[in-house]
Amino acid sequence: MGDIAAHKIGIIAGQGFLPKLLIEACKSQGRPFFVLALENQTDSAILKDVPHAWNRIGAVGKSIEILKSQGITCLVMAGGVRRPSWLELRPDFKAAEVLATLGVKAFGDDGILKGLIDFLEKEGFSVVGAHEIIGGILASNGNMTKSSPSPEDMEDIRRAFIVAKTLGSVDVGQGVVVQQGIVLAVEAVEGTDLMLSRIPIARERVKGLGKGGVLVKASKPNQEQRIDLPTIGLRTLELILDHKLNGIALEAKKCLIIDKETLIQRSNERGVFIYGVELEGQHA
């Protein structure tokens, strides 16, 4: 595609804080952009004084027309998307074409995302990752905070990465919580926040298990790097503090940190670690 800075960016905005960061990054860089907002998904507050259009998620044909009419050739998809009911989806011809192409892959996130990218590229768009526009958003290798993992934390981190990569190989989740070698929670379709909410129930089942443990976020093997990278933000930090975990370990260069500077500052204030691990092969 060449230098993406030369292209007007189309932002397909889902839920969460990432679409807002992309808009701010484009503005600060003087980069032309346009937002395609998804009904019942995108936060309308981020669209004030922003060039945008609304469309429902199942109207793929109309979305393509809107983007092409704006001169968009480069797309970034940002933010979570709640899976719509069939009634909400109401697929148009283009959406039905995508679903037919996906077939059984439509039951797994990886298959859906890779199939969607293939479809968009066939329509003439290039797809880039949010980290290619927002500088410094990827997790770095090593310690990012004043606090660092203890030897016991490192053992939990190693075990959690093995579990995360094993589950990821069958397209299940991107997060695991381990304490004293015990897997307290794994992420499935519910997402990180609800996974963390199960920690107290898990601890009750293990006698003498108090505070501690780590949250690990890792990409799936063969993860599509342009969409749906594992992500943490201030809400993640609040939850690990609520549940008295010692810190968070992230796969370096393959996880996003939203509002990184603020998150690291607050982690330092509360004495928890944020630690990046650059993996070789599949496991830590």
In this predicted structure, what is the pLDDT of residue 282? 40
Strands 52-55 and 33-38: parallel
Rounded mean pLDDT, 117-122: 90
CA distance 185 to 183: 6
Strand order across the beta sheet in which 247-251 lies: 142-143, 273-277, 247-251, 214-217, 175-179, 182-186
Q: Is pLDDT at 74 greater than 50 in this prediction? A: yes
In this predicted structure, what is the pLDDT of residue 103? 65
In this predicted structure, what is the pLDDT of residue 249? 98
Residues facing residue 13 across a β-bridge: 37, 78
Average pLDDT, the chain: 90
User: Could you read off the pLDDT of 16-47 as tens digits, one per residue?
Assistant: 899 999 999 999 999 999 999 999 899 999 99
Q: How many CB atoms lie within 10 A of CB 84?
A: 17
271: left (phi over 0), alpha (psi -120 to 50) or beta: left
Q: Is pLDDT at 218 greater than 90 in this prediction? A: yes
In this predicted structure, what is the pLDDT of residue 281? 53
pTM (2 d.p.)? 0.88
End-to-end CA gap in the chain:
34
Q: Is pLDDT at 128 greater than 90 in this prediction? A: yes
Residue given tokens 């089942």 in the structure block: 205
Q: What are the structural domains, with CATH classification, of the chain?
A: 4-132 (3.40.50.20), 142-277 (3.40.140.80)
User: Could you read off the pLDDT of 242-282 as tens digits, one per residue?
Assistant: 999 999 999 999 999 999 999 999 999 999 999 999 987 54
Is pLDDT larger for residue 101 or for residue 119? 119
Report residue 80 CA to chain centroid gap: 7
Q: How many residues does the chain have?
A: 284
From residue 263, alpha-carbon distances to 159, 246, 258 in Å are: 25, 15, 8
For residue 222, the one-letter residue type is N
In this predicted structure, what is the pLDDT of residue 284? 43
